[in-house]
Amino acid sequence: MTALPGETPIPHLEAFDAHGVRMTLTVPAEPDEAATAAEVIRRLALETAPRWERVPGTVGGTELRARLLDEAGLALDGLGFMHWALSADGDVLASGSPRPRRAPDDGADPFFGEAWHASIADENGLPLADVSLAGTPGWHAALAVRRRGDGDRARTVAVLADAARAADRLANQLVAARPGEIERLEASLADDGAAALVLAAGQEPLVTEGWPLAGAAWLASEARAAH
Amino acid sequence: MNFTQRVLTGVASVSLAAAGVLGLGAGWGLSNGHGPQGGASEARSGAATLASSGLATVSTGSAPAWRTVSAASLLGSAPADVTARSHHRAVAA
């Protein structure tokens, strides 16, 4: 649907509020297709959120947006969209490419393109880190950012995982962990095929081995295993 | 059936699925679905845990799991397609 024989549409952004969650959808498609996809996600969010809000711990927490992202991603996949980037209150889930390559004549891997470029910013919009996501359709890449504290006690964490709920869970653990516990959380990250970044005031950034530095792309764990 | 009609038919299917009519579970078949995380967004009360004792602990023996990097190495030059940020501060218990 989004790998066209001619020019690839410019990524089109749709933004909307769904049950108190600010969501955006960026998809390289014609404006009417993008609007239709956004309507699908908005309806899903409106119908799904009340059900999730009955789950203990979901109301007022980050798990709601993570669940919305994962379900919205599956819905887009099911409807044939292979290239898209969703955000829900700042968390991101992406698939495919914003600029998928045109289908080659030999039919080999027609949908691979450049990765989504995600910028991690602080509450003032100041860029903290850049990371490229996904690139292979069907493999979701999630990015969750959490922050706590102010001044010299401020800590920002970011987690890359292949599902929004995993990124949410791990990011919440990291941002709440005592300094001595962060090292032990590396095992949890590895078990989920996730990567993390920790930024603490006055200290050099910490990353796990899987975190992609500038110029590198992060692929979901199953995609990494297959390539 | 054109694209819009096909998608809106899909919307009806999604709505029915969300309502449980199609018998899909809450996890929608996610391979790494996790159960409800009670208080997943709760951070420990007080910022005392973030004292200046430092976070740069690295495992000895085997290859370090965590490593320090320069702030510059985190930033790229390509314009962002999507921005991730902490929308809400973690809520204390």
Contact between A57 and B4 using a beta-carbon 8 Å cutoff: no
Residue A129 to residue B36, Cβ atoms within 8 A:
no
- Contact by Cβ (8 Å): A113, A101: yes
The pTM of the full predicted model, rounded to 2 decimals, is 0.74
Confidence of residue B1 (pLDDT cuts 50, 70, 90): low
d(CA B92, CA B46) in angstroms, rounded, equals 8
Task: Please give the structure tokens belonging to residue A144.
Answer: 């969750």
A118 with B75: Cβ contact below 8 A: no
Q: Chain B within 8 Å of A217 (Cβ-Cβ)? A: no
- Rounded average pLDDT over B25-42: 36
Top-ranked range on mean pLDDT: pick from A8-17, B13-22, B31-40, B46-55: A8-17
pLDDT reading at B3 higher than 80 = no
What type of residue is B57? Answer: T
Distance CA A59, CA A151 (A): 28
> What is the mean pLDDT of each successive set of 10 residues along chain A, which is 227 residues long?
52 79 88 89 80 57 85 91 91 90 56 82 88 80 92 91 95 89 87 92 90 80 60
The pLDDT of residue B51? 35
Residue B7's pLDDT is 53
d(Cα A196, Cα B58) in Å, to the nearest integer?
Answer: 14
Per residue in B48-87, pLDDT (tens digit) is 333 333 444 444 444 447 899 998 889 887 788 899 988 6
Q: Which residue has the tokens 């590895």?
A: A190
Residue carrying structure tokens 């199609």: B22
C-alpha to C-alpha distance for A27 and A119, rounded to whole angstroms: 17
At residue A139, the pLDDT reads 84
Higher-scoring residue by pLDDT: B38, A108: A108
SS (H, E, C) B30-68: CCCCCCCCCCCCEECCCCHHHCCCCCCCCCCCCCCCEEE
Q: Is A78 on the interface with B (CB under 8 A)?
A: yes
Q: ipTM strictly over 0.90?
A: no
Q: What is the pLDDT of residue A86?
A: 94
User: A148 in helix, strand or coil?
Assistant: strand
Q: Is B84 on the interface with A (CB under 8 A)?
A: yes
E strands within A19-126? 21-27, 84-88, 91-95, 99-100, 113-114, 116-121
Disruptive mutation site among B49, B82, B88, B89 for chain A (greatest number of A CBs within 10 Å)? B82
Higher pLDDT residue, A152 or B17?
A152
**Looking at residue B48, what is its pLDDT?**
36
Cβ–Cβ contact B93 with A under 8 A: no
Structure confidence at residue B16 (pLDDT): 44
Q: What is the pLDDT of residue A91?
A: 94
